[in-house]
Structure 1
Amino acid sequence: MQFLKQTTFTTLLVTLWSVALALPGCSTLPQPTQQVPAAPPPNLQTSFLSVPLSFEANQGQTDPEVKFFTRGPGYGLFLTPNEAVLALTHLQPPVSTPSDSPADEAVNEPAVLRMHLIGANPTPTLAGETALPGKVNYFIGNDPNKWESNIPIYGRVRYDNVYPGIDLVYYGNQQQLEYDFVVGPGQDPQHIAIRFEGVTRLELDQNGDLLLLQTEDGVIRQQKPFIYQDVDGKRQIIDGGYVINTEGQVGFQVAAYDVTKPLIIDPILVFSTFLGGAGNDNAYGIAVDNTGQVYVAGETSSLDFPTNNPLQATRAGLGDAYIAKLAADGSALIYATYLGGSGGETALSIAVDGTGHAYVTGETGSPDFPTKNAVQPIHGNGNSPFADAFVVKLAPDGSNLAYATFLGGLGHDVGGDIAVDATGQAYLTGWTSSPDFPTTLNTFQSTRLDDNNAFVVKLTQDGSALAYATYLGGSSLDVGNGIALDGRGQATVIGSTASTDFPTKNPLQPVLLGSSDAFVAQLTVDGSALTFSTYLGGSISDGGVGIAVDGSGQVYTTGYTSSPDFPTKNPIQPSYGNGRGDVFVAKLASDGSALSFATFLGGTGFEEAANITVDGEGHAWITGSTFSPDFPTANPLQPALHGNVDVFITEFLTDGSALKFSTFLGGTGGDGGNDIAVDSEGQIYITGSTGGASTTHPTPTFPIKFALQPTLGGLQDAFIAKINPQVNNLNNKFAPLGSGQVSTAFSRTPCGGATVGTFTVTATFTNISADTLSNLVIQVNKLTGGNVLCNADGGPDGAGALFTIPLLGSFADGQLSPNEAFTVAFQIGLQSFNPFQFVVDVLGEEIP
């Protein structure tokens, strides 16, 4: 949110507990008789995967000193005129409870955290803001005189003038509390001083996060804010963060900024949340629809996996698949359901069509797996220990199955990946050991050539028939791991093969070079033939795991390699990282005839790719897992490996010539990325698993932001994270990129006896792509002292673009000499051109 002519400091309070609580010293809160309507969600960039928070006015429900309060899983927040009281409760599970058995959970006494403002107004005015629809009613007992009804609820609570010219505002969502200090023009944020009671120690960690440590109950983490100003439509990044003084009080330090404009403190990581229960949970697939709603699928052994509007409310076997859909504004789970029978299930991939139907594939060992309108209504091998693949199509609201079917034969069959076309026809690939796997007439390969071949299947829109189904493989082991569609409905598949006779056509690499290679194969629309098929690998071992196709049909692939001679072209990393395995990333022409680029990606440890996607600009995005502390990063959210293994998320420029973004993501436990998706706005969604705690770090440290579920439910949970790559953390590391020419034109006020204002620079470039130019950041530096005067990010494509640059600081008269030289550096991410020099006189006019 923005306040005109005010400065806003937003602090995020993340709790690491769960379960309801009562506050000592205040009346235990009765439960309302009806569901409170949801608050309108905050802006998408600052809140996602969150349940809306609402504040109740106190009309006798609790201690009279409390004016407003709110509750959520694991916390209650009580606002009095002089302090905010946060009560936290977590469950302590009994020792040696099996993960697949219901736990007799014991509720600990709540931990109470009090927040006081030092030197603040003792009698501020409290007022509810953003009145929400609906009222709260308490009809407790049979005495109507004790009932409370029509209690108003609000989205925000404001304390006016806690310090002169400074307000304090509480708001947020059910799982994530936020508070803003709203600093008026001319006021000093350094007046703000906070004392926390109920903590044993305050610390700032290496990332600038504020840790409120409690001996028995854990840690409250307030993550370091991302601070910026919007000036003349341009985002200016301001340095700053928390400080702790010698008396243990918390305040803010903020670098120089324009005090007449709003100052926004906002995270780059849009959201990150756990998803799971007391057992083990993992997410293997993620998808996003054209309205930004998020779909996740995986497996769970938890009896208490969070469900909402479930098709199947309880776990049926020792482990079930699950499917979850979240609202675009993050306000709720639209649905979350178990899916399975009395055996075991794993969902491995999910896709979504234009109408919001979810398509899921994986494997099931349950003969009673739910089926509907099935092309194969019974398990292929009865009660045998072998699993069948399954395919399900779920209604947009999750209330029913459009279809659900087994897919398999006498052996073991697994659906590894799924895609859907514009008409709602589903395509999947996987692997099978069944000699009788269902195939269709006139298909490319109707018989299995080895104990295990890949398969490719296309189902009709209603799931009642196979449009085509084919084996794909040779006389050794072949596995299909990924599938993607082009605009004509041709399916391109990636996987791994150990077959010297894997079928090829117009191959980029015609022979198997190692013990196993990746393969990339594209089928015709009807599945009757290959349009191209090739090996891809080196002399040791390689495998393909993920594939994407852009609007022009170009093919993006990723996988693993332990071959130092894996084929590369225009690589950003030309050599093997010397660990146990690296990721490879390769882009092929639409007909498979050539490599556009191919590169290693990794460090001295071990890397494993999971999947790849491509955004609207043709940038490839990859996720997976890395053990390497020297994994290559660029403009990272998290610059260092935090545990033995972390998630990585990496973005390549269109031509593969550089990394635009690359980051670790993880905590001190074991974390792995399993799937990645991109929406129409270029925002990135990642899912996987996190082990959270370890023996050396018993408190989970996976980065959590605006979390639907802020605490780890068991030993292992799924995670979901969303990143907005348009918000970049800029720095001043410069390196030459190319040649260019600059001419400049100034207004008369900004430089030389300068006051805060703006000027423009006209830049003309040579040898620069539009993709590079669209991500320019201009910096104007004082040549002698190196002080940054002005910043501007972004700019239109094309040569001769005009950039308006706000002056961040003022220089006194006489501080700049006539004809003093300045430089302009044109920065792209972590790199820039060599500085170009120009001079100005004391009036700020250019000297030719």
Structure 2
Amino acid sequence: MRKFTVAILTVIAFLSPFLLHAQMEFVENKGQWHSNVQYKGSFNTGAFFLENKGFTVALHNAEDIANVAAIMHGHKADGSANKAVATMPADGKLKVRSFGYKVRFLGASEKLGSIPDKALPTHNNYIIGKDSSKWGSNCRVFEAVTYKEIYPNIDIRYYSQGGILKYDFIVKPGGNPDFIAMEYVGPKSISLKEKELVIATPVGEVKELYPYTYQSGTGKNEAVDCKYVVKGNVVSFKVGKYDPKSTLIIDPSIIFSSFTGSTADNWGYTATPGPDGSLFAGGISFGTGYPVSPGAFDVTYGGGPSEGNFPGYDIAIFKFSANGARRIYATYLGGTGNEQPHSMIADAQGNLVIAGRSNSSDYPALNNFGTGGLYDIVITKLNATGSGLLGSVKIGGSGDDGVNIRPKYPVTSPSAVSLRRNYGDDARSEVIMDGSNNIYLASATQSTDFFTRNAVQPAIGGAQDGVILKLNSNLSNVLFSTYFGGSANDACFVASISPTTGDLYIAGGTESANLPGNKTGVIGPAFNTSGTVVPDGFVTQLKSDGSAITRTTYLGTIGIDLVYGLKFDKFGYPYVMGTTTGNWPVVNATFQNPNTKQFISKLQPDLSGFVYSTVFGSGTSVPNISPIAFLVDRCENVYVSGWGGGINDSQGYSTGSTSGMPQVNPLTGIPPADGADFFFFVLERDANSQLFGSRFGQNGGLGDHVDGGTS
């Protein structure tokens, strides 16, 4: 058998902080770009253009991009409380400094052939401007591109791995790595620092990491010594001794932590899994740059009136493949006003139900219930390919619906008020389905004329009440719609269905001492108060047809208590999760972080007592996180995720940070902590121990967060 010898020089182009894009896609040029360009890859702050004998890098200043994001996002550029708020320039023009440089392969073959691979099941279209010769239609998209025989017996392959752009020189038998010479045209300087190539530009430094080189021929990878050689603006490689009889194998891997690839500012709200392990991400987009897929339901940005410093926005939905490497589809959703998604759920066929709010008079609703007014509640069901509607409804009265207390923008003081205690709490609600695919929603309304049907509470009780709705599977009919609340502010945040009785349970926050429902024999028969009215959590149990409220319990201390999560185990026991500023009861729990402010409690199905109850956190006097997701698995382990610090601090919500949160088996290889991260927590069955705890996020920047919603 003939043996083939291959040596590969792996050069990682690490644009710090430029090329931080989890999966670069290479789009073919069909006339929409300069004729020198064959493929283009985009990243957060620039673009990468592949050409016949080299490539061009276009960079935007990272601080300018962050400042624009801060202006659009409405908070401080790094999410901290001690820096000035980014403001719109006096002339009303946003400025971004940019720079480009080119890399030419000196002495390369004049007859190169490119071979793209890992084609994505999508196409891009570029119909921009009036000159049709510069339009590009049905442009194919690939995950990698190889140029063959750039030098004799040497190929080069471009791809991305773990969020970093890479290019490999593949030196086959007869190839000589000494032939490789790269001329950098444009940078201010090129230098070596700790074996890495540093490329200085007017908008920041680019780093190309140490050129890891290896071979495989004896059952394991064997590293080969290799280093950069810099002479003026030309870079080459000095390769140590390697075995010409061995075969080198490269096996790149992808870690799922992905951006959507939008060039328009877009904010995340909610996410849900698909039945095949895929992932749906829902947020809002502020412009035309969202990467919608051909044939998607809505490929056109509608926008709406500005809110404070922000332009109009549409719902933006992105479906990832199970490994996060591919876009299955992406679509806008909205009218000529503004809309945002609060909660999503997929059925067994992969159809997606999206619930949120809209103030568009022309939102794509197939059915309308109520007079409508300011913000209205919207629920839309997309088919499995994201190409059409299976149902869509708008429900509302003359006031704000789907808004908890007030919208987050424009910012008003104080930020933390009533049931709105975190940035994003204005967008709390949850949509769920039963075994017949009927759709339920827990939300809030400030309309005195909200649409009701078969209601156990037909009239509003206070300035804001919760609302509970049940609709059929195609959203053509409201089966019941009811207020839920007392004489003060109330909000329904979350919902769940008992697997044993089919009853509907709702939870959230209240300032009312007279919530409806039988409270005899429950955990909390009375509203807790220390003389000052502060919110309590609550749980209420209803018949699945909405015909009766079985019972209601308050859950709280003399502090501020809110329930943000509600789920059942397979035996029909409800679990709640939330935050407190008081001393939450610890009952029958081996695990606890004493005097902390995030709680998990397992309740009796009739709400008569705790099976167990415990707390976790760092020990601060206020909650560490704004919880956003909650799950109980089939083994009765409990999962919580949320985020803390950052924008909660800078906008005056007086909450804690993720610093000091209890970590167990934490994730490795992530940036250092900055106190403004996501946090994931797993509690063992019966509160016996903490199975997992880890932060996740960037260091610095705007602070890691979502802008609302329930996942």
TM-score (norm 2): 0.66
Distance 1:265 1:47 in 2: 16
In structure 1, the partner of 2:683 is 652
1:419 Cα shift?
Answer: 1.7
CA gap 1:244/1:542 in 2 versus in 1, 3 angstroms: farther
Over residues 15-65 of structure 1, what are the superposed CA-to-partner deviations in whole Å (9 max), with x where a residue is unaligned? Answer: 68999xxxxxxxxxxxxxxxxxxxxxxxxxx99766455699xxxx967xx
1:429 Cα shift?
Answer: 0.7
Q: CA contact under 8 A between 1:213 and 1:219: conserved in structure 2?
A: yes
Return the letter of the residue paired with 2:349: T
1:72 Cα shift?
Answer: 2.6
In structure 1, the partner of 2:381 is 393
1:409 Cα shift?
Answer: 2.6
In structure 1, the partner of 2:203 is 217
Distance 1:239 1:550 in 2: 50
- Percent identical residues: 21
Q: CA contact under 8 A between 2:342 and 2:430: conserved in structure 1?
A: yes
In structure 2, the partner of 1:320 is 313
1:478 Cα shift?
Answer: 1.4
Alignment of 1:593-672 (within 5 A): 593-602=609-618, 604=620, 606-615=624-633, 618-626=637-645, 627-634=657-664, 635-637=666-668, 642-643=673-674, 645-656=676-687, 657-672=689-704
Q: CA contact under 8 A between 1:297 and 1:322: conserved in structure 2?
A: yes
In structure 1, the partner of 2:525 is 510
Question: Which of the residues 58, 67, 71 maps onto 2:40?
Answer: 71
Alignment partner of 1:277 is 2:264? yes
Question: Which of the residues 323, 327, 334 maps onto 1:332?
Answer: 327
Question: Which of the residues 477, 485, 506 maps onto 1:465?
Answer: 477
Distance 1:666 1:363 in 2: 30
Return the letter of the residue paired with 1:529: A
Return the letter of the residue paired with 2:101: V
Distance 2:396 2:658 in 1: 39
Distance 1:53 1:495 in 2: 46
Return the letter of the residue paired with 1:352: A
Alignment of 1:345-356 (within 5 A): 345-356=339-350
1:245 Cα shift?
Answer: 10
Distance 1:474 1:226 in 2: 66
CA gap 1:501/1:527 in 2 versus in 1, 3 angstroms: same
Alignment partner of 1:431 is 2:426? no
Over residues 428-472 of structure 1, what are the superposed CA-to-partner deviations in whole Å (9 max), with x where a residue is unaligned? Answer: 11112333333333x443333322221211111222222222222
Distance 2:566 2:214 in 1: 37
Moved more, 638-647 or 308-317: 638-647
CA gap 1:52/1:557 in 2 versus in 1, 3 angstroms: farther
In structure 1, the partner of 2:434 is 421
In structure 1, the partner of 2:579 is 560
Distance 2:486 2:541 in 1: 16
Structure 2 spans left out of the alignment, 5+ residues:
74-87, 125-138, 239-245, 307-311, 404-428, 646-656
CA gap 1:651/1:340 in 2 versus in 1, 3 angstroms: farther
Distance 2:510 2:391 in 1: 32
1:330 Cα shift?
Answer: 4.2
- 1:539 aligns to what SS in structure 2? coil
- 1:435 aligns to what SS in structure 2? coil
Distance 2:225 2:541 in 1: 51
In structure 1, the partner of 2:84 is none
Question: Which of the residues 487, 505, 519 maps onto 1:475?
Answer: 487
Return the letter of the residue paired with 2:383: A
In structure 1, the partner of 2:100 is 111
1:425 Cα shift?
Answer: 1.8
Q: CA contact under 8 A between 2:318 and 2:331: conserved in structure 1?
A: yes
In structure 1, the partner of 2:283 is 298
Distance 1:675 1:225 in 2: 40
Distance 1:518 1:229 in 2: 61
1:71 Cα shift?
Answer: 1.5
Q: CA contact under 8 A between 2:197 and 2:228: conserved in structure 1?
A: no
Alignment partner of 1:542 is 2:561? yes
Distance 2:703 2:679 in 1: 10
Distance 1:247 1:551 in 2: 68
Over residues 726-765 of structure 1, what are the superposed CA-to-partner deviations in whole Å (9 max), with x where a residue is unaligned? Answer: xxxxxxxxxxxxxxxxxxxxxxxxxxxxxxxxxxxxxxxx
Distance 1:570 1:7 in 2: 58
Q: CA contact under 8 A between 1:129 and 1:156: conserved in structure 2?
A: yes
Alignment partner of 1:403 is 2:391? yes
Aligned residues: 594
Alignment of 1:371-390 (within 5 A): 371-376=365-370, 378-379=371-372, 382=373, 386-390=374-378
1:339 Cα shift?
Answer: 0.8
Q: CA contact under 8 A between 2:108 and 2:150: conserved in structure 1?
A: no
Return the letter of the residue paired with 2:317: A
Distance 2:558 2:109 in 1: 76
1:417 Cα shift?
Answer: 1.9
Alignment partner of 1:585 is 2:585? no
Distance 2:692 2:565 in 1: 20
CA gap 1:456/1:326 in 2 versus in 1, 3 angstroms: same
Over residues 88-129 of structure 1, what are the superposed CA-to-partner deviations in whole Å (9 max), with x where a residue is unaligned? Answer: 154989x99996999988897752254989xxx998997755
Q: CA contact under 8 A between 1:286 and 1:296: conserved in structure 2?
A: yes
Alignment of 1:146-157 (within 5 A): 155-157=144-146
- 1:450 aligns to what SS in structure 2? coil
TM-score (norm 1): 0.57
In structure 1, the partner of 2:507 is 494
Q: CA contact under 8 A between 1:341 and 1:370: conserved in structure 2?
A: no
In structure 2, the partner of 1:445 is 457
Q: CA contact under 8 A between 1:506 and 1:533: conserved in structure 2?
A: no
Q: CA contact under 8 A between 1:322 and 1:339: conserved in structure 2?
A: yes
Q: CA contact under 8 A between 1:354 and 1:422: conserved in structure 2?
A: no
Distance 1:262 1:532 in 2: 64
Distance 1:265 1:361 in 2: 38
- 2:528 aligns to what SS in structure 1? coil
Q: CA contact under 8 A between 1:523 and 1:530: conserved in structure 2?
A: yes
Q: CA contact under 8 A between 2:99 and 2:201: conserved in structure 1?
A: no
Structure 1 spans left out of the alignment, 5+ residues:
20-45, 137-150, 253-258, 678-685, 688-848
Return the letter of the residue paired with 2:467: F
Q: CA contact under 8 A between 1:559 and 1:610: conserved in structure 2?
A: no
Return the letter of the residue paired with 1:331: R
- State the superposition RMSD in angstroms: 5.6
In structure 1, the partner of 2:420 is none
